[in-house]
Structure 1
Amino acid sequence: MMKCKNILQICMVTAGLWITLTVAAFAEEKPEVVWPHSSVNAVSNREATLADATVLQAVSSAVNDKLHALETAGKLPFSLKESDDGFTEDITENAAVALIPLIMDDHCYKSEYIINGQPYYKAVVMTQIDVAFCYYPGSGNSLRVLHTIPLIGYSVIGTNGEFTAPISKAVLQEQFVNNASQLIQDNLEFKNKRFLDDIELKMVTPDTYQVTDVTISSAAAQRFYGPRIPVVKALIASAFTSQYAASHDDVTVLPSIVSGTWQEDAAKKTYQLSLGDTGKYIVMERANNEIVLDLQKIAAFDIPIEHDAGVYKKKGYTASVVNKTDNKTGTATIQETVLPAANPNQVRHDIAGILAEILTDAAKDAAKE
């Protein structure tokens, strides 16, 4: 009897060990993702772009730090295959999924204030990074988008009168890097429920969503922006996409095709983005759920403000963006930031910069659940 009991204990221990080892083995099985330590400037065709080689390296470093922080905390749902070869060896030799940060927007909206004859300068610095997961089949020049995590935000510098000379490109680049680092630290997470499916299957899951058009029904916006309408449309589409992806973790959200950065191949019903001097392209299929947005309203109103010299008025602004696909409206309101001035009428405001802020906020509001 004792012998049988010992055998039973041994069997139980062996079975328990087998289960433990099996569970551990399955726990360690994660999809592999190549991290080439390289970011790409997707808006390099613009003359005023901030994202030079130094900025791209800083963005890559911020992504690298966040990836390793998540890995250390056990929160990275894939294993990293790191490479310093950019988009060459580790991606081109074998079929692989690669993580590629794409700089999609680095616009700056600058303004000048004149107070008692002294000029002051302010800038709104836009920052958009799409962290893309792309599949390379092992041959050819194209990588296919499987999944993206869009990160977008902005900052306003100079509101306290700290710049009495035009803001240099170096300062704007530093602010862009600060914005990017904060966005990556706060928002680069892998919570999407379809995320691992996309990577493991090496194909885009059927339930995809994408902003394919932005209309401008606001007559005031049409008059004010005129030739800058394409920039406005791209801004609204990008801001909406970022918030929509954050609010809907059960679907795959593809980058907007409104910005003009993605070049259409009408015959193949795909869009492509160059990876610069690598000779390769990122290819994206059109989503099967299309989202159309509309800038329905922008308006200004006066706000009475008490001042030592009496009462004067400053401007407030409001905007409405409608998701025409489900009739959800997003709104935002913002007030001018006015430096102390003996005569507020001497202050010149850059309305384009103010409206860049409000359009971003209204578009994000329209994307929330």
Structure 2
Amino acid sequence: MRRALGIFFILVAMAVLPIRNVSAEKPVVYIQPALTYENSINIINIDEDTRRQVERIIGERLKQMADAGDLPYEVRVATADSYHSTNEHIIDSDKIFLYPTIMVSTSIDTVNNNSLETAYTSTVIAGISLMFCMPEENLDITRVTDGGNPVSLRLLGIVPMVEAETIGLSRYNPSNDSWQNIHNAPISEWEKKGKFISLVRQMMKDDISFSNIKGNLRDDKAKLGMDTYQVTDVDMSSAMANELFTGKEAEDLKFLVGYCFTSAYQKKTKRVMYPPAVGGQDLVNSMINGAYKLSLDSANGKVDVHMSNPGHSIRLDISGLASEVVDSGNNVYTTLHKVWLTKSPVEGKEKRELSRLHERTVKLPPGTSTDSDDNQIYAALLLGLAQELGGQDK
């Protein structure tokens, strides 16, 4: 009888355990070295030490989330020996790879002058996209490893993130007739890089949703289909915007506005959002040539991430800029800057156009004057407004 019961329990365990394991099984994702999107915007230099810090912050945080059961996938981090051999892992053609990709590493630097002093500020912007990829089918490994050609990957999903913070933000305190937190010298590259790392750490602490990629991670033949979105244009219908922002400065602003909107829109809707195809960047050029790929740089070579055409296009428009100086008396002046940004098409409860206002109050001795960097103030306002526009309730 005892033996019969033992056999019975063994059979029950054999019947139950496989079912439980299959139902609980999650796809395994291998975190790879960080990639960088080389463009004219990224003025904060991402050296090898900075790249490794980004990798460590993201890898440790995702591993922590996976161990706590908070991710729809298991995490494996490459070993130190192979972590920076971008091309070698590609032989494992059935694996899913996660590439932390540095899309934005820049700052908006402002100088505010008056007859008494000069104040400097820098708004540091960090943009990271988590790209889930698999090697392209029928990839010629020899062509990649021996010929030095780009690794060719297929995009399964992407999670764009962005954070920004201002260094040296000063404010006039009328109660004691003084300025607070004045930066009398330009913000150093060392300070900007330190703030960039701090912003990456902050964005990884926030709530990150992977719900839009769960299905594709379980299907190694999956391709992103029609339920994909992309900012394909950022217009400047504002006459003042066209007057103030020209050439490279205008193109860079368009990309940053598009990326800030993209991050907020994806976080709100949980939809797949491609990087913005605006601002004269490489992605725009590849689209024109029919390739539709994102070319990225690794520590050891190029990586091409291929994607399908987006199912839905979103257009943004910098529809208005305005400024005014208000004389409040007693030599107190308030400078007002306002921006307007519109989105089309409009979805559900969204507002088509939003605006944002910036105020700066100064008290100046008689006979003195003040001057502010209007372009940089407008740019910083537009980036914050782009996030607000993308994060609206639908």
- One-letter amino acid of the counterpart of residue 101, structure 1: P
Aligned partner of residue 355 in structure 1, secondary structure: helix
Residue 126 of structure 2 corresponds to residue 113 of structure 1: no
Give the Cα–Cα distance (whole angstroms) in 2 for the partners of residues 305 and 8 of structure 1. Answer: 91
| Aligned residues between the structures | 359
Partner of 1:298: 321
Give the Cα–Cα distance (whole angstroms) in 2 for the partners of residues 283 and 344 of structure 1. Answer: 61
Identity of aligned pairs, percent? 20
Structure 1 gap segments, 5+ residues each: none
- What is the aligned counterpart of 1:264 among 286, 289, 303? 286
Stretch of structure 1 that moved more, 144-153 or 108-117: 108-117
Give the 3 Å change call, closer, same or farther, for CA 252–106 of structure 1 in structure 2: same
- One-letter amino acid of the counterpart of residue 321, structure 1: T
- Kindly indicate whether the alpha-carbon contact (under 8 Å) linking 1:43 and 1:49 is maintained by their aligned counterparts in 2: no
- One-letter amino acid of the counterpart of residue 24, structure 1: R
RMSD of the alignment, in Å?
3.0
Residue 106 of structure 2 corresponds to residue 96 of structure 1: no
Aligned partner of residue 180 in structure 1, secondary structure: helix
Deviation at 1:328, TM superposition (A): 4.2
Partner of 1:158: 168
Give the 3 Å change call, closer, same or farther, for CA 115–267 of structure 1 in structure 2: closer
Aligned partner of residue 285 in structure 1, secondary structure: coil
- One-letter amino acid of the counterpart of residue 59, structure 1: V
- Kindly indicate whether the alpha-carbon contact (under 8 Å) linking 1:296 and 1:322 is maintained by their aligned counterparts in 2: no
Deviation at 1:14, TM superposition (A): 6.3
- One-letter amino acid of the counterpart of residue 236, structure 1: V
Stretch of structure 1 that moved more, 112-121 or 288-297: 112-121
Deviation at 1:296, TM superposition (A): 1.6
- Kindly indicate whether the alpha-carbon contact (under 8 Å) linking 2:336 and 2:360 is maintained by their aligned counterparts in 1: no
- What is the aligned counterpart of 2:209 among 180, 183, 190? 190
- Kindly indicate whether the alpha-carbon contact (under 8 Å) linking 1:220 and 1:297 is maintained by their aligned counterparts in 2: yes
Question: Mapping of 1:30-69 within 5 angstroms?
Answer: 30-36=26-32, 38-43=33-38, 48-69=43-64
Partner of 2:233: 213
Residue 297 of structure 2 corresponds to residue 275 of structure 1: yes
Give the 3 Å change call, closer, same or farther, for CA 214–115 of structure 1 in structure 2: closer
Aligned partner of residue 206 in structure 2, secondary structure: helix
Partner of 1:82: 77
- One-letter amino acid of the counterpart of residue 70, structure 1: M
Q: TM-score, normalised by structure 2?
A: 0.80
Give the Cα–Cα distance (whole angstroms) in 2 for the partners of residues 302 and 8 of structure 1. Answer: 89
Deviation at 1:320, TM superposition (A): 2.4
Partner of 2:173: none
Deviation at 1:230, TM superposition (A): 0.8
Stretch of structure 1 that moved more, 260-269 or 130-139: 260-269
- One-letter amino acid of the counterpart of residue 106, structure 1: S
Partner of 1:352: 375
**What is the CA deviation profile of residues 66-95 of structure 1, one whole-angstrom value per residue up to 9, with x for unaligned ones?**
112202221121112321423233333433
- One-letter amino acid of the counterpart of residue 63, structure 2: H
Give the Cα–Cα distance (whole angstroms) in 2 for the partners of residues 129 and 340 of structure 1. Answer: 40
- One-letter amino acid of the counterpart of residue 109, structure 1: I
- One-letter amino acid of the counterpart of residue 153, structure 1: E
Aligned partner of residue 235 in structure 1, secondary structure: helix
Give the Cα–Cα distance (whole angstroms) in 2 for the partners of residues 57 and 25 of structure 1. Answer: 35
Q: TM-score, normalised by structure 1?
A: 0.85
- Kindly indicate whether the alpha-carbon contact (under 8 Å) linking 1:330 and 1:365 is maintained by their aligned counterparts in 2: no
Give the Cα–Cα distance (whole angstroms) in 2 for the partners of residues 264 and 10 of structure 1. Answer: 64
Give the Cα–Cα distance (whole angstroms) in 1 for the partners of residues 308 and 367 of structure 2. Answer: 52
Give the 3 Å change call, closer, same or farther, for CA 177–285 of structure 1 in structure 2: same
- Kindly indicate whether the alpha-carbon contact (under 8 Å) linking 1:150 and 1:245 is maintained by their aligned counterparts in 2: yes
- Kindly indicate whether the alpha-carbon contact (under 8 Å) linking 1:154 and 1:357 is maintained by their aligned counterparts in 2: no
Give the Cα–Cα distance (whole angstroms) in 2 for the partners of residues 311 and 173 of structure 1. Answer: 36
Give the 3 Å change call, closer, same or farther, for CA 334–343 of structure 1 in structure 2: farther
- Kindly indicate whether the alpha-carbon contact (under 8 Å) linking 1:332 and 1:361 is maintained by their aligned counterparts in 2: no
Give the Cα–Cα distance (whole angstroms) in 2 for the partners of residues 170 and 294 of structure 1. Answer: 35
Give the 3 Å change call, closer, same or farther, for CA 345–351 of structure 1 in structure 2: farther
Deviation at 1:151, TM superposition (A): 0.6
Aligned partner of residue 159 in structure 1, secondary structure: coil
- One-letter amino acid of the counterpart of residue 382, structure 2: L
Partner of 2:175: none
Question: Mapping of 1:4-43 within 5 angstroms?
Answer: 17=13, 20-36=16-32, 38-43=33-38
Structure 2 gap segments, 5+ residues each: 141-150, 171-180
Give the Cα–Cα distance (whole angstroms) in 1 for the partners of residues 192 and 336 of structure 2. Answer: 26
Give the 3 Å change call, closer, same or farther, for CA 24–110 of structure 1 in structure 2: same
Question: Mapping of 1:217-228 within 5 angstroms?
Answer: 217-227=237-247, 228=249
Aligned partner of residue 365 in structure 1, secondary structure: helix
Partner of 1:318: 339
Deviation at 1:25, TM superposition (A): 0.3
